[in-house]
């Protein structure tokens, strides 16, 4: 039996990896590695419990630090693991530092790499994730993409067509699988909400690191909260800065700790709109049929604009866009299949497994 090592490390990885592990179950020997990039239980443990992910076989405990410190710690840990376990294939997910670290270590040991969610590009060099995406894709043997635009980006970067596979979005497999558990009434009760409300998530460095940007963001959130309550499950990244800038000084702002997956998506499902700088949330809101206002100057997920509910508005454009969205007729929730991006149908995991198994058989 071939041995496949899956490398996960942070919150956005887990809903992507779960369907791939499930679809490969029984066909290959699987080893699940958690690098420990996210070690806070609220960003990690809860996902394993809820998504039915197997307990990680190994946790490297890499922890946080500067980009170099963290990437290096993961590389050192993974080199040992790869030498000991001798995998036939390493599967990496998304665009976090652990993704890049795993691809670098595997490439130098001549171990093939499959990248799930390859080819996304924001073309924004200030995003650390953009560096991780580009380099990981150059080092990968199998590029598994979630949207057609990603195929074009990879082709332009010189990746051979035979290595690129449009398999759809495994994060949406996870969303559709757990849809019945996204309980909007429970979310309202949990956060003390009776009428309409907004959800906001913020953690990108461009929004939460620079004090001037934080001040602008807090002012926009306060103004939005004059229309209806804004529930903000706050990522630990940036929390202190947002609070220091007075985030809690509006009675309409409801801050919580990061929520478990189903609680979070129950909250999003019932929201009038979502304000976010998250990558995954743009995708999830699109499929749930919830208007999404992305507080960034660019997105690596343009398919959520062309085939979803997303609008790129920046922080400065939130209030005007919010007026438009709240005045528009309500959207169908969840979005029907024909209004979703192609192959966001709940079958990406099996398609990815098919590509992986064919590739392993051909070796």
Catalytic site positions = 203
Q: Output the DSSP codes for 235-263.
A: -STTHHHHHHTTGGGSTTEEEEPPPPHHH
Contact in structure between 29 and 2 (CB atoms under 8 Å): yes
In the complex, minimum distance from the CB of residue 43 to ligand UDP, in angstroms, rounded to a whole number: 7
Read off φ and ψ for residue 222, nearest 5 degrees.
-65, -40
Q: Which two tokens stand for residue 267?
A: 């909250």
Closer CB to ligand UDP, 77 or 280, in the complex: 280
Q: Report the residue from 19, 238, 258, 266 that binds ligand UDP according to the rule CB under 6 A.
A: 258
Run of H or E residues at 5:
strand 3-8
**Nearer CB in complex with ligand UDP: 170/279:** 279
Order of all β-strands in the sheet with 292-294: 253-256, 230-233, 198-201, 273-276, 292-294, 310-312
Q: Which of 170, 233, 289, 341 binds ligand UDP (CB under 6 A)?
A: 233
Residue spans of alpha helices (H) in the chain: 14-24, 45-51, 67-85, 97-108, 128-139, 148-156, 170-177, 184-191, 205-208, 211-227, 239-244, 261-269, 279-288, 303-306, 318-327, 348-362
Q: Pick from 44, 147, 201, 347: which binds ligand UDP (CB under 6 A)?
A: 201
Figure out which of the listed residues 279, 302, 308, 341 binds ligand UDP, where binding follows CB under 6 A: 279
Selected binder of ligand UDP within 15, 36, 238, 346 (CB under 6 A) = 15
197 scored as a contact of ligand UDP (CB under 6 A): no
Closer to ligand UDP by CB, 12 or 112: give it.
12
Shortest distance (Å) from residue 224 CB to ligand UDP:
18
Do residues 333 and 269 touch, judged by C-beta distance below 8 A? Answer: yes
According to DSSP, residue 174 is labeled H
Q: Which is nearer to ligand UDP, 261 or 344 (CB)?
A: 261
Q: Which of 225, 265, 295, 335 binds ligand UDP (CB under 6 A)?
A: 265
Considering the rule CB under 6 A, would residue 137 count as an interface residue with ligand UDP? no
Q: Is residue 281 a contact residue for ligand UDP (CB under 6 A)?
A: yes
Whether the CB-CB separation of 127 and 98 falls below 8 Å is answered with: no
Residue 136 as a binder of ligand UDP (CB under 6 A): the answer is: no
How many residues line the site for ligand UDP (CB under 6 A)? 15
Interface with ligand UDP by CB under 6 A: which residues? 11-12, 15, 201, 233, 258-259, 261, 264-265, 278-281, 284
């Amino acid at each position: 039996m071939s041995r496949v090592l899956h490398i996960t490390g942070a919150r956005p990885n887990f809903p992507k990896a779960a369907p791939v592990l499930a679809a490969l179950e029984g066909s290959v020997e699987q080893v699940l590695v958690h690098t420990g990039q996210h070690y806070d239980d609220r960003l990690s443990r809860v996902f394993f419990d809820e998504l039915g992910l197997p307990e990680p076989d190994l946790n490297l405990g890499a922890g946080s630090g500067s980009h170099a410190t963290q990437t290096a710690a993961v590389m050192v840990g993974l080199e040992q693991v790869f030498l000991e376990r001798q995998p036939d294939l390493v599967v990496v997910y998304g665009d976090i530092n652990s993704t890049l670290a795993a691809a670098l270590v595997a490439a130098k040991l001549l171990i093939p790499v499959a990248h799930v969610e390859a080819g996304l590009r924001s073309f924004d060099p200030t995003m650390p994730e953009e560096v991780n995406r580009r380099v990981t894709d150059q080092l990968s043997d199998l590029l598994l993409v979630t949207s057609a635009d990603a195929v074009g980006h990879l082709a332009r970067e010189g990746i051979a067509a035979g290595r690129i596979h449009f398999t759809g979005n495994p994060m949406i497999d996870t969303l559709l699988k757990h849809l019945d558990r996204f309980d909007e009434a429970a979310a309202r009760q949990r956060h003390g909400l009776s009428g309409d409300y907004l959800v906001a998530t913020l953690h990108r460095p461009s929004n939460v690191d620079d004090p001037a940007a934080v001040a602008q963001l807090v002012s926009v959130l306060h103004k939005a909260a004059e229309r209806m309550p804004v529930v903000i499950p706050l990522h630990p990244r940036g929390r202190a800065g947002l609070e220091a800038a007075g985030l809690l000084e509006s009675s309409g702002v409801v801050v919580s700790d990061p929520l478990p997956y189903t609680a979070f998506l129950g909250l999003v499902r019932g929201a009038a709109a979502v304000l976010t700088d998250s990558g995954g949330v743009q995708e999830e809101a699109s499929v749930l049929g919830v208007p999404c206002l992305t507080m960034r100057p660019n997105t690596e997920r343009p398919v959520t604009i062309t085939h979803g509910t997303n609008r790129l508005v920046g922080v400065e454009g939130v209030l005007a866009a919010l007026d438009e969205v709240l005045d528009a007729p309500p959207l169908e929730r969840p979005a029907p299949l024909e209004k979703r991006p192609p192959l966001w149908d709940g079958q990406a995991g099996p398609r990815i497994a098919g590509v992986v198994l064919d590739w392993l058989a051909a070796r």
